[in-house]
Structure 1
């Protein structure tokens, strides 16, 4: 809210600007010879008006989702963007919005990373282009969704351990010659983080391995029947029927799978590798440039006679060790996402797929946003 006030001051350097004590209203008065014009900015945020704000956002999402958009992918991104909004600024003006005032609003929207709701239910981007109207039309083909870090990281207070961890990660990236984003915040420190229990991690490891096993077998051309029989045999051996997430359970239970599912679940070996590391079976994760050794990793589980054996031989790493890797992968993933957005090859041989799977696994380990496996985000 203070940033908003500063931006309005920069847009109207000659105006008289007053702000209400609670910061929820700003008035700009511009004097021109024999007249003066007043413009008002009413501010509602998710913190100043939580119930009203949530009602407004839900109504907005309901309205936009009912539109039959011509570009489904664009509409989905617009909906995601609106779900991340943390402030609504209502405009008050004594006359129709002139071209000059519209230009001022665009400057403000650009600074705020905002979208603009225009008359008649149209939604514009910060450049004034039509994102979506009531007829489903748009003037752009694509839209990059970004959100304020307060939405991604919540209100976890900064801590010395988090700040120091960020510094160590950035030092390592510097040594590796990898450019990084200094504006990425420090993540929650040791005192503000809960780590999954050893049994939770072991169960998740088994589930990931078995889902990846099905994907691997089907991808290699094995029949759906033989694959199902093998997977069920392993499930029975480790009494793993209850270990799967809802999405994994559907994949395991269905006959065969679509190619995209096969690929997606086969990547699960990389997340399984992280779980093995967290359980002490794998010595170090290393730089995410190469795929894990699937045969070796699967062997850690194959060599156990039961889940009890697998669990009892595991030793969960310390919270500090896990948070070190979680912070580092967070910064690696920003590099990979930035490279993809700018159509570049990730530097230093980073493998975007490996980075993504590790990021997801580590976010689950540190209970990021308290999300279950199927919902874990990899925000950067």
Structure 2
């Protein structure tokens, strides 16, 4: 034991997720968001797609529970439906869009060619995944941490959230970016402190 070791020596350095990990996580989110559709026939198609392509191997523990629940609670459907916003930073990081849209503009990931390609051939999508530079992901994560702070600060002060930000969008995109840069042990445990 080093008598002069500081607490900082005990902290593990974040290891950015690999392109394959990000691609697998994106596939898991696709399935979860698809399953979160309120129209049961559409939700069932998402479940069938996930089973047919082995996407269940990429689910977090919370996602596994949601996916096998025959009658998920309405709040779970809403919460996991919001994960569509967490998909966007991954699409961006995998070079599917040039930039993230403003943080008050909701995503429609189903229209993005990279997402359509992932749905069509998941195994090929994972095998060919390429990430942008880790520094670019880290820089974007810092920007979203700042935006998350503005949202949190406004709520603490009982003020309106700045109009250029949507609290739900900011939270989901920040969550995804923090996971991408390596924060948290797994998808269900990503810290989002402000």
Provide the TM-score with structure 2 as the length reference: 0.86
Q: Which residue of structure 2 lines up, in the alignment, with residue 377 of structure 1?
A: 191
The reply on whether 1:262 has 2:77 as its aligned counterpart is yes
Match of 1:20? none
Following superposition of structure 1 onto structure 2, how do residues 266-345 of structure 1 map, counting pairs within 5 Å? Answer: 266-297=81-112, 300-304=114-118, 305-345=120-160
**Alpha-carbon distance in structure 2 between the residues aligned to 1:260 and 1:207:** 19
1:197 counterpart residue number: 18
Q: Which of 1 and 2 has higher RCO (CA within 8 Å, sep 6+)?
A: 2
Larger-gyration structure (1/2): 1
Indicate whether 1:214 and 2:49 are aligned. Answer: no
How far residue 242 of structure 1 moved from its aligned partner, in angstroms, is 0.6
Once residues 115 and 144 of structure 2 are traced to their aligned partners in structure 1, the CA distance between those partners, rounded to angstroms, is: 25
Q: Give the Å deviation of 1:348.
A: 4.1
Question: Which contiguous aligned blocks of 4+ residues in structure 1 show a shift greater than 6 angstroms?
Answer: none
CA deviation after TM superposition for structure 1 residue 313, in Å: 4.1
Going by fraction, where is strand more abundant, 1 or 2? Answer: 1
Tell me the alpha carbon deviations over residues 213-237 of structure 1, each in whole angstroms, 9 at most, x when there is no partner: 111x22xxx23xx345312321134
Q: CA deviation at 1:378?
A: 0.7
Distance 1:301 1:238, change over 3 A: farther
Partners of 1:290 and 1:322 in 2: CA distance: 20
Closer/same/farther in 2, CA of residues 248 and 345 from structure 1, 3 Å limit: same
Name the structure where helix makes up a greater proportion of residues.
2
Deviation at 1:286, TM superposition (A): 3.8
**What is the RMSD computed on CA atoms of the aligned residues?**
2.1
Distance across 1 between alignment mates of 2:65 and 2:34: 15
Q: CA deviation at 1:303?
A: 3.3
- Structure 2: state its 5+ residue gaps: none
> d(CA) in 1 for partners of 2:153 and 2:185?
25
* Whole-angstrom distance in 1 between the partners of 2:151 and 2:144: 10
Q: How far does residue 317 in structure 1 lie from its aligned partner after superposition?
A: 1.0
SS in 2 for 1:282: coil
